[in-house]
Amino acid sequence: MAPENIRPLEGILVLDFSQFLAGPVAAMRLADLGARVIKVERPGVGDIGRTLAFAGRTADGDTISFHAMNRNKESITANLKSPDDLAYVKQLVAKADVVIQNFRPGVMERIGLDYESVRAINPGIVYASATGYGDAGPWKDRPGQDLLAQSISGLPWLSGSHDDGPVPVGLSIADHLVSCHIAQGVTALLVRRFRTGVGGHAETSLLEAMLDLQFELLSTRLNDETITVKRGGEHSAHAFLAAPYGTYPTQDGYLALAMNPIPVLGSLLGLPELEAMTDPRQAWDLQEEIEAILAAKFATGPTQQWLDILDAADVWCAPVLTLDELLESDGFAAIRMTQQVERNGTTLSTTRSPIRIDGQILTSSKAAPMLGEDDERVRTEFPVSEAVS
């Protein structure tokens, strides 16, 4: 049994050179698991995420999104073009277990902090790189941004109906998935290092994350050239799943239906025309007709009325909640997904790590750091020596 309250990555030192979302959130995931994360930022400016506000909201001088992505970290400032600051950072590199960076290909090489240079300083280092589109090919120098990566990957053509244009996911899904992949790669390499003494380099990109997300579609298409994206009608929620899979308006909201036999729904809802559709192929061939019949029925009553009927029969369904409805729900309260962090007398509510360890929810009251707030202490702890310069 592991000692209580000892998090799995305690004792691991991470240097976070990344900015905005993918890299910082990867480092935050490691911090939530117990690692010590020192964020290395540009003097005076810092991580661009400090000023690039999600929904335009700020608190205590930084964006709320920056607070959400950088809890549990320390911050130091270093001008990596300055020989003195670079020597200082290399001293930290010599002591670190992990380095995370998400610059465009070539930037860390020009600075002298690419994987090979860092490995020369610290042979056991675990180094993680996140880019937009990898380090080769015609897209490698394009801006690595979430919407742009979604668009190149073809993902926006999977949502919406056949009457819509492209519909991107309304969150930074590529960035978030990259953060998970980077954290996974780092922890895997740490395990290897503990077993063999060998570190390594974990790499991924926004594009690779988007392609991995589409593994079902791509695998099917790679083995069957007749597969094309054919989005359904206005209620369909998946280009490759038949009726009734989708969302339907009710008198007071919306209801989501997953994979369910059409005749069963017909019987439960008093729709004989659906009850008679016993051929599974009809769920494809008559998809929009089936969805229209269901939509007309659901529009005659409130969401809870339909949930009562369908839940009792173990039909796969759910209400489509608004943000306000989610936050007010008992289910949201029960999962305890929020925590409070504090900085300079400002208390912010944010999400916690979604991972539970040994039955324990991982929370921390340490907010995102002020720019350079740990400069003096860290420089004292890791003084520059002539051996690393």
Tokens standing for 30? 């490691």
* CATH dotted code for 13-213+335-381: 3.40.50.10540
pTM over 0.85: yes
Count other C-beta atoms under 10 Å from residue 97's C-beta: 22
Q: What is the pLDDT of residues 296-355, one digit of tens each?
A: 999 999 999 999 999 999 999 999 999 999 999 999 999 999 999 999 999 999 999 999
How many secondary structure helices (H) and strands (E) does the chain include? 17, 15
**Amino acid identity, position 89:** V
End-to-end CA distance of the chain: 43
Cis amide bond preceding 83, omega within 30: no
Residues 32-63 as b or e (16 or more Cβ within 10 Å = b): bbbbbbbbbbbeeebbebbeeeeeeeebbebb
Torsion 181-185-188-194 (CA) sign: negative
DSSP code, position 117:
H
Taking phi over 0 as left and psi of -120 to 50 as alpha, with beta for the rest, 88 belongs to: alpha
Q: At what angle do helices 173-196 and 22-32 cross, to 10 degrees?
A: 50
Residue 3, judged by CB atoms within 10 A of its CB (0-12, 13-18, 19+), counts as exposed
Tokens standing for 219? 């695998």
Residue 1 has a pLDDT of 40
Domain boundaries, given as residue ranges, for the chain: 13-213+335-381, 246-328
Kindly list the averaged pLDDT for each block of 10 residues, start to end, along the chain of length 389: 76 97 98 98 97 91 96 97 96 98 94 98 98 95 96 96 96 98 98 98 98 97 96 95 97 98 98 98 97 98 98 98 98 98 96 96 95 97 71
Q: What is the CA radius of gyration of the chain?
A: 25
- Asked whether 125 and 97 are in contact (CB, 8 A), the reply is yes
Torsion 132-39-33-203 (CA) sign: positive
Could you tell me the fold of the domain covering 246-328?
A: formyl-coa transferase, domain 3 (3.30.1540)
Q: In a 3-state reduction of DSSP, which class is residue 201?
A: strand
- Asked whether 21 and 179 are in contact (CB, 8 A), the reply is yes
Residue 255 has a pLDDT of 98
- Asked whether 155 and 168 are in contact (CB, 8 A), the reply is yes
- Asked whether 65 and 53 are in contact (CB, 8 A), the reply is yes
